[in-house]
Amino acid sequence: MAYEVDKTEEEWKRELNPFEYHVLREAGTEPPFTGEYTDTKTTGVYQCRACGAELFRSETKFESHCGWPSFYDPADSSAVELLEDRSHGMVRTEVRCARCGSHLGHVFRGEGYPTPTDERYCINSVSLRLVPEEG
């Protein structure tokens, strides 16, 4: 798929540190309960760490106790791309940034969380950058 932000892998490697590159460009996963934003309650906007696109807002972040930041809805439905992921012997739905194609995490449905969508966007902290709301 062609993305608005289109860079070579060498360009991504120059711009991202090795761990960011592994998660964002190679669909890696950070270990649970280690991410910068797992327990953050700061009000603001979560952007893609690779390209700066607005992905999630703090109002949709909730405590799922799964080890990664969880959101029940993206900031805009066109901000993320959802793809079938059959890796690791299971079928999941991968979440990518729609602007640059970077891997963010996975979305799970029907788990019974008391949220408006009954969805859990389980997102790697290293895929995000929080821009705190001013004021």
Question: How far is the C-alpha of 103 from the C-alpha of 73, rounded, in Å?
Answer: 17
68 found inside a domain:
yes
Q: Is 122 a known active-site residue? A: yes
pTM over 0.75? The answer is yes
CATH number (domain holding residue 71): 2.170.150.20
Question: For the segment 60-89, what is each residue's pLDDT rounded down to a tens digit?
Answer: 999 999 999 999 999 998 999 999 988 878
| CA gap 106, 124 in Å, rounded | 9
Q: Which residue type, as a one-letter code, is found at position 38?
A: T
Within a domain: residue 2?
no
Q: How many domains does the chain have?
A: 1
The pLDDT of residue 67: 96
For residue range 14-59, list pLDDT tens digits in order. Answer: 999 999 999 999 999 999 999 999 999 999 999 999 999 999 999 9
Helix intervals (H) in the chain: 9-15, 18-26
Rounded distance between C-alpha atoms, residue 119 and residue 110, angstroms: 7
Looking at the domain assignment, is residue 3 inside a domain?
no
| Residue 4 belongs to some domain of the structure | no
- Print the domain residue range for 61: 9-132
Q: Hunting for tokens 């080890």 — which residue is that?
A: 67
Domain assignment present for residue 1? The answer is no
